[in-house]
Structure 1
Amino acid sequence: MRIGVLGAARIAPTALVRPARVVDGVEVAAVAARDRGRAEAFAAKHGVATVHGSYAELVADPSLDAVYVPLPNGKHAEWTLAALEAGRHVLCEKPFTANAAQAREVAAAAGDRVVMEAFHYRYHPVAARMAEIVHSGELGEIRRVETAMCFPLPLFSDIRYDFGLAGGSLMDAGCYAVHCLRLLSPGEPAVRSATARTLSRDRRVDRAMTAEFDLPGGATGQVRASMWSTTVFRIRARVLGERGTMTVTNFAAPQVFGRLVVTVDGHRRRERVAGEGTYTRQLRAFAAAVGGADTNLTPPADSVATMSLIDDIYTAAGLPLRP
């Protein structure tokens, strides 16, 4: 599989270039950036053979099988659609699009091409094990699911705070927490309330968000997202059942200081779930899906559900949907 990169993004080496070196049959074959000089520097550093003069030129390259889209949030739908129109498969960084309407548009355009949202954590065995523990009934009837993705980003000029590029803590950090809440809930969550802490210079942009949910069966849920708040760092999933609890530290990248602890009927155990890094497993799953395997765990239908919930959170918080 020959894949091209749209944009010399900081995440690209970690998410794609280095994993491609160990995943058989995958070649990062081309790159394009707004600044050709940046693309050339990226290509030279990472051994990419072809530099294209524009995004449009890259997606039209007939030698490519797939396109990786790590552009700012507000550009995801535009260039995923362009790649699909050109007949390419797409690995698109999270969040899938700026809003649910765009997600539905991409889903309708996908056809028989593989479109995978890059929630890389979902491809690690820890994600499957979390879901297995919760949905097996081991914890008893689920009463509450809490997920959090909080980290510090005090540089408020960063594009992740740009409303016009679909920025905000819920989009950048919180989309992981929303997706994980959906994975561990007994059914699709419904937003009950949401509270945002916004930037002083742009009240449309959340630097932190807390949302409460009603879950099927009478359970409740909570999502916490932050790029700047009193909660400096927290990446965690916690599920409370009538018989016990499950707590997962760093569910987003469990290969780095990850921990899964289960307490049932007073008995506590810690589980170690081995596996390659999340990005390597994600790329392997993407390549297999392009080859016809049923390995896409984050297809457009899943993305539509996640983006719909994000829209509902913004609405409940009294903020506009991302453009």
Structure 2
Amino acid sequence: MTQLAIGVLGAARIVPMALVRPAARVPEAVVAAIAARDPQRAGRFAAKHGIATVHDNYQALLDDPQIDAVYNPLPNALHAEWTLKAIAAGKHVLCEKPFTSNAAQAREVADAAAAAGLVVMEAFHYRYHPLAARMREIVDSGELGTVRSIEVAMCFPLPSFGDIRYSYPLGGGALMDAGCYALNCLRMLGDGTPQVRRAQAKLRGADIDRAMTAELRFPDGSAGRITASMWSGKVLDISVRVLGDAGELKVLNFVAPHLYHRLSVRTAAVRRHERVRGEHTYTYQLRAFTDAVLRGGPVLTSAEDAVVTMGLIDEIYRVAGMRLRGA
């Protein structure tokens, strides 16, 4: 195999940015087919974006022998079902985050991927940009001293309350949508898997968190805190703060650094700002996925890693007194 033929499950709004445009910059990947609940919509999408094949339904796409891998941007509640079906069909999978509705589903998917020997990657695109590696490099360098606390915020306004992200049956909630980013980043910068100490939700109805805060503790004693919201008093905040006993790291917009970001380090000896240049985060992600499938390259956001994040999401919902997604 010299080129990865990717099929898309659903004509979601994210597909052009997350896959179609990056594929134009990654010669080893081609978006070869699409299927949607509405075949006419899939046809219009394919015509607009130059996708050669339109299938009548998701299973027909999975059964297509010309397709090597699947991109799964379906609603959260459908991630596990269709990722498992893709694995059963022998396809590699790039699955949007959050990986599944809960940790039990994530474990089932991870086990299936391992048994099949397939690449199944969670689509935390920011992890593949050089900024993420630079953040971890600064923490590991000792420049900040012993890390005392890590705070990650992922807050943005989504007042469209009919959006699927406010639907419990579809696996919605601020923790699922924004909070999965915050938890993933917290884990990337921390040492080991943290434990949830406290959690508090602001609700939109009985089962949907429009905002969530959680306090965690890492095995080394350092504190972690996430703030996630789709609608709250904190309208827009996408940031990281790592406080050590010798200094502080702050990063603004760790999720889309190709658009704009600001990294600053403050210690007793220095105050500096850095700019970590690079391509679009989704281009890095697609290149990494293609490399993993074609050459066995590294996967930073594996199915096994997703199991840990989904376990933390489950525990935060429990501590906040809420039902798990997919319950």
Superposition map of 1:217-232 within 5 A? 217-232=220-235
Partner amino acid for 2:78? K
Structure 1 stretches of at least 4 aligned residues deviating more than 6 Å after TM superposition = none
Match of 1:265 in 2: 268
1:96 match: 99
8 Å CA contact 1:130, 1:184 repeated in 2: yes
The 3-state SS of whatever aligns with 1:291 is helix
Letter in 2 for 1:295: P
In 2, Cα distance between equivalents of 1:107 and 1:186: 23
- In 2, Cα distance between equivalents of 1:24 and 1:259: 31
1:297 is the counterpart of 2:300: yes
2:137 aligned partner: 132
Letter in 2 for 1:87: G
DSSP-derived class of the 1:319 partner: coil
Q: Which amino acid aligns with 2:11?
A: A
CA distance in 2, matches of 1:225, 1:146: 11
Secondary structure in structure 1 of the residue aligned to 2:295 = coil
User: 3-state DSSP class of the match of 1:216?
Assistant: coil
Query: Hey, what does 2:170 align to over in structure 1?
Result: 165
Displacement of 1:243 in angstroms is 0.4
Q: TM-score scaled to structure 1, two decimals?
A: 0.98
Q: Which residue of 2 aligns with 1:175?
A: 180
Gaps of 5+ in 1: none
Return the offset for 1:255: 1.0
The one-letter code matched in structure 1 to 2:318 is T
Q: What's the CA shift for 1:37?
A: 1.1
> Which structure 2 residue ranges, 5 or more long, are not aligned?
none
Q: After the TM superposition, which residues 1-323 of structure 1 pair with which residues of structure 2 at under 5 Å, given as runs?
A: 1-111=4-114, 112-199=117-204, 202-323=205-326
Give the C-alpha shift of residue 297 in structure 1: 0.7
TM-superposed deviation, 1:181:
0.4
SS in 2 for 1:154: coil
Cα deviation 1:130-156 (Å, max 9, x = unaligned): 011112221000000000100000111
Q: Figure out how many residues of one structure are paired with residues of the other and give that number.
A: 321
Instruction: Give the percent of matched residue pairs that are identical in Structure 1 and Structure 2.
Output: 62
Deviation string, structure 1 residues 173-214 (Cα, Å, up to 9, x no partner):
110001000011122111000000011xx2111000000011
RMSD over equivalenced CA pairs, Å: 0.8
Per-residue deviation, 1:292 = 2.4
Separation of aligned partners in 1, 2:269 and 2:148: 17
Deviation at 1:288, TM superposition (A): 0.3
Shift of 1:275: 1.1
The one-letter amino acid of 1:132's match is E
Task: Indicate the larger mover: 142-151 or 214-223.
Answer: 214-223
Query: How much has 1:266 moved relative to structure 2?
Result: 4.7
1:251 aligned counterpart, secondary structure: coil
1:210 is matched by which residue type in structure 2? T
Partner amino acid, structure 2, of 1:197: K
Determine helix, strand or coil for the equivalent of 1:191. strand
Give the TM-score normalised by the residue count of structure 2: 0.97
Say which SS state the counterpart of residue 249 (structure 2) adopts. strand
SS of 1:223's equivalent? strand
> AA paired with 2:321?
G
Q: Following the alignment from structure 1 to structure 2, what is the Cα–Cα distance between the partners of residues 116 and 104?
A: 14
Indicate conservation of the 8 Å contact 1:135/1:186, yes or no.
no
Amino acid at match of 2:245: E
